[in-house]
Amino acid sequence: MTVFFTVCFFHFLGISPSFDLLAQSHTPRNLDLIDSLMRSASEGLAKQLRTPLFPQDTLRVSIVPHEGAWMLENALFASVRKVKQYRASDSSTFRAKLVVRLTDCAVRYFTCANSFDSLQREASCSLMAHVETREGVVQPLEAITLQMRDTVARQSAYSLESKQYAFASPAVPEAAPNFWKQVAEPAIVILAGVLVVALFFFVRTQ
């Protein structure tokens, strides 16, 4: 069985420049979103350890190599130690081993159909895990998938990235053609300028 959680929150950007800057300053970075999901997912895994099968004394945590494994390890340490003792012991002393695999850990951008200047941002985190005892018993845990979605300003997308991590630096999709901004609005500005110049010369000739 898969446990699936979805958390949606939206940042509505105002029209005035000062409001835009205020909204951007409170927009969480991509890495912060992933960290929040990691912590929630780790809490979900830790709750599943409350069964008689798992020894109460020592639990070794093993994470399959991944670019974001360090974040998951920190989150698991904070969550698992509330339920079990967490000790990175060798294979001859541990009584149970929690093996965790990050199957999805990424931030993605999507275009907004109703906004030329905005992007929909989605952060996701999926975990699969099982517990192995020294006696050879394997107990799979429920998979966990978490998501967060919000809307960010296109111009602020790059400032929200963490360049050293690919999963926190998604590609920004190209803006869809916008008739008003690309054709109508420049045409109106040019026409207004022509009218002002024409009016200026007209007044001078009178």
**Same-domain status, 11 and 38:** yes
The full length of the chain comes to 206
Output the average pLDDT for the chain: 77
83 within 8 A of 48, measured Cβ to Cβ: no
Averaged over 68-78, what is the pLDDT?
Answer: 91
**Same-domain status, 99 and 158:** yes
- Over residues 172-194, the pLDDT tens digits come to 998 766 555 555 667 677 777 77
Averaged over 77-99, what is the pLDDT?
Answer: 68
- Over residues 131-172, the pLDDT tens digits come to 887 778 888 999 999 999 999 999 999 999 999 999 999 999
**Same-domain status, 103 and 16:** yes
Domain range holding 189?
A: 176-206
**Same-domain status, 21 and 31:** yes
Q: Residue written as tokens 């929040």?
A: 36
- Over residues 112-130, the pLDDT tens digits come to 888 888 999 999 999 999 9
Percent of the chain past pLDDT 70, that is, above it, reads 69
73 within 8 A of 45, measured Cβ to Cβ: no
**Same-domain status, 110 and 180:** no
Phi, then psi, of 168 in degrees rounded to 5 = -110, 10
The tally of domains found in the chain comes to: 2
**Same-domain status, 26 and 102:** yes
pTM (2 d.p.): 0.70
Averaged over 22-43, what is the pLDDT?
Answer: 85
- Taking 50 as the threshold, does the pLDDT of residue 19 lie above it? no
**Same-domain status, 113 and 199:** no
Distance CA 68, CA 66 (A): 5
**Same-domain status, 197 and 130:** no
Q: Residue written as tokens 């009016």?
A: 199
**Same-domain status, 181 and 102:** no
How would you class 147 by CB atoms within 10 Å of its CB: exposed for 0-12, middle for 13-18, buried for 19 or more? middle
